[in-house]
Chains A and B, each alone.
Chain A
Amino acid sequence: MESDLRSELSRQGVMIVSLEALYNWGRSNSLWPLGFGLACCAIEMMAASMARFDLARFGAEVFRPSPRQADLMIVAGTVTKKMAPQVVRLYNQMPEPKYVMAMGACAISGGPFKQGYNVLKGIDRYLPVDVHVPGCPPRPEALIEGLMALQRRIMRQRLTGPERPRHLQAGEASELPVPTLGARDIEPPYHAAVWRPPRVARAS
């Protein structure tokens, strides 16, 4: 339905709720995160769920310890190469629809530790990330902003057509290949299907 017609109707007191809107409303307002902390950012994630900021107001305080019941993976902290296979495995264990939030500089790009030999330079090399929340660590307010951005993103999604969410597209795998630990480095260094970085022109 056209959005202006819908808004006109709602002004007249007629609420039109499409199945799509209901579906999006449900999943955006019930984002249960995986209780999954990696490093410093996990503490701010916890702080966000505590009394001062209270993530519960958004219905998102139900930190599920089991990935089977979680909707949102907040990658909060440094992903090391040793940990990366487990993170991908956890993502694979989550049921669709699932979302990934990269919280903090380390999860996005390796952050301050990107120079390290055991640090993965961004979880988006292996997982499709929906929202990036930079910060070192992000303040709880920033995390809440990120959560609201994710909610808006879900509400915007159309269930049909080429723009439909990933989990509704045929051929999009719910499980991603798990990288393995090699003798010197993690292999492969990234999944080409997920990660397509642009080239930044820089003088060496």
Chain B
Amino acid sequence: MIDRGGSRRDECEAGGEDAGRLEVSMGPQHPSTHGVFRMDVVLEGETVVRLKPVFGYLHRNHEKIAEQTTYLGSMPYTDRLDYFCSLTSNWAYALAVEKLAGLAVPERAEYLRVITAELTRLQNHACQMGFMLQDLGAMGTPMMYAFREREKILDLFESLTGSRMMCNYMRFGGCRADAPAGWIEAARGVVGDFPRFLDEYEALLATNEIVMARTQGVGVLPRDLAINASASGPVLRASGVGYDIRKTDRYGVYDRFDFRVPVGDHGDCYDRFMLRLLEMRESVKILEAALEQIPAGPVIDGKVKLRNFKPRAGEAYGRIEGPKGEIGFYLISDGSASPYRYRVRPPSLINLTALEEMCLGQKVADVVVILGSIDIVLGEVDR
């Protein structure tokens, strides 16, 4: 599996250092690298024969800062990891700390976590599809529709957590605040409206001949390589692996909901695109059930200290199924108020491992589409 990728790389390099090659450095400022990402691409005509990603333009030392601050102080920084999905990053971190310190979470808080995480997934997937279409050259229309729906979800986030993007909502042992009056109903309204948007998206894009021609058979990630390269989330599932941490780890209260995990068979950009669409439909189902079932009760374990929180020495790795893939936190505690080692397992970075294999032999216009279909966010890639 690795050998094939390697040989393909060699083959292209052995293709001769003749003239007609063009070395292009895409990024760090490029409209389709989704931030400050850079790819050094070698082209023959318009065909990619080599591609080297260059990282670090947004390396803002998240892990170092976290090792110098308290456990609680890192929570707002996790918002800024994946700035589309602050709530799932919150959750992953809270989960890791709860494992580290052995904390239990009240049931209502678990439901609130599921609801906010699935809402996050909805807006992340919608925006990802918008960005990918933007990379395909659609003049912003799909993105506008995605952001139109995203704003509705952000309104919910703001009235629940106080901030549109940087929610800083979860705490060790629960959530910071209970839903304000009328929030559940408002969320039900937004979720109820969402399928209309999905239908619109599907009509606009799913059977569009140009979209199909641009994405089908492009950027294929074979099943074995996907597993071996530790791809996760929709990228892994599009390659035919039905692996969803919500099902495998059964964290939170996900085992109480009836949802399915869509799987692609081709592993190309179209599969990754469509899987997100199908996942959104499943998320809507989870949300409807969760908003129906949510019990009354406290939202945080009142015994957990906010200040001077010092878990006993030990380590823990906690992970959840984020919208972009497996987001995990690895923490080592030495018994003091700040973690001895704090590590983020960034799905965006690791999903890029096989980027070169996916891009070789494709056109330069495909590179941006493949990158868009992986769905990266630089805050998380570089941290």
Contact = CB atoms under 8 A, between A and B. Distances in A.
The finding on whether chains A and B are genuine partners in a shared complex, rather than unrelated, reads: yes
Q: B interface, by DSSP: helix, strand, loop or mixed?
A: loop
Pick the most buried of A38, A90, A115: most chain B CB atoms within 10 A of its CB: A38
A90 B28 CA distance: 11
B58 A83 contact: yes
B377 to A, nearest CB: 9
A78 interface: yes
Interface stretch (A8-16, A45-53, A157-165, A186-194): A45-53
A136 interface: yes
Contacts of A82: 56-57, 59
B61 A116 contact: yes
Interface in B68-122: 68, 76-77, 80, 83-84
Interface string A38-75: 11101110110011100000000001010000000000
Given A35-B31, A90-B29, A116 B143 contact: no
Nearest to B155: A52
A83 B57 contact: yes
Q: Which bucket holds chain B's interface residue count?
A: 20 to 34
Contacts of B56: 80, 82, 118
A40 B68 contact: no
A38 B31 CA distance: 11
A118 B60 contact: yes
B36 interface: yes
A116 B379 CA distance: 14
A40 to B, nearest CB: 4
B147 A50 contact: yes
Nearest to A136: B166
Contacts of A118: 56, 59-61
Contacts of B59: 80, 82, 118
A42 B62 CA distance: 19
B58 A112 contact: no
A46 B147 contact: yes
A86 interface: yes
B80 A86 contact: no
Interface string A125-141: 00000000000110100
B29 A36 contact: yes
A50 B150 CA distance: 10
B256 interface: no
B148 A65 contact: no
A102 B148 CA distance: 26
Contacts of B57: 80, 82-83, 86
Interface string B244-270: 000000000000000000000000000
Contacts of A113: 60-62, 65
Nearest to B60: A113
Given A38-B58, A112-B76, A86 B29 contact: yes
Contact of B379 (A40, A50, A83): A40
Nearest to B30: A65
Given A39-B378, A65-B31, A80 B60 contact: yes
A108 interface: no
A64 to B, nearest CB: 9
Interface in A18-52: 35-40, 42-44, 46-47, 50-52
B164 A139 contact: yes
Interface string A110-125: 0011011111000000
B312 interface: no
Contacts of B80: 39-40, 112
A39 B379 contact: yes
B64 interface: yes
Nearest to A119: B60
A86 B148 contact: no
B137 to A, nearest CB: 12
Nearest to A61: B140
Interface of B: 28-31, 35-36, 56-62, 64-65, 68, 76-77, 80, 83-84, 143-144, 147-148, 150-151, 164-166, 378-379, 382
30 contacts: A36-B29, A38-B36, A39-B83, A39-B378, A40-B166, A40-B379, A44-B164, A47-B150, A50-B144, A51-B144, A51-B151, A52-B151, A65-B31, A78-B58, A80-B56, A80-B58, A80-B59, A80-B382, A82-B56, A83-B28, A83-B36, A86-B28, A86-B29, A113-B62, A117-B64, A118-B60, A119-B60, A137-B83, A137-B165, A139-B164
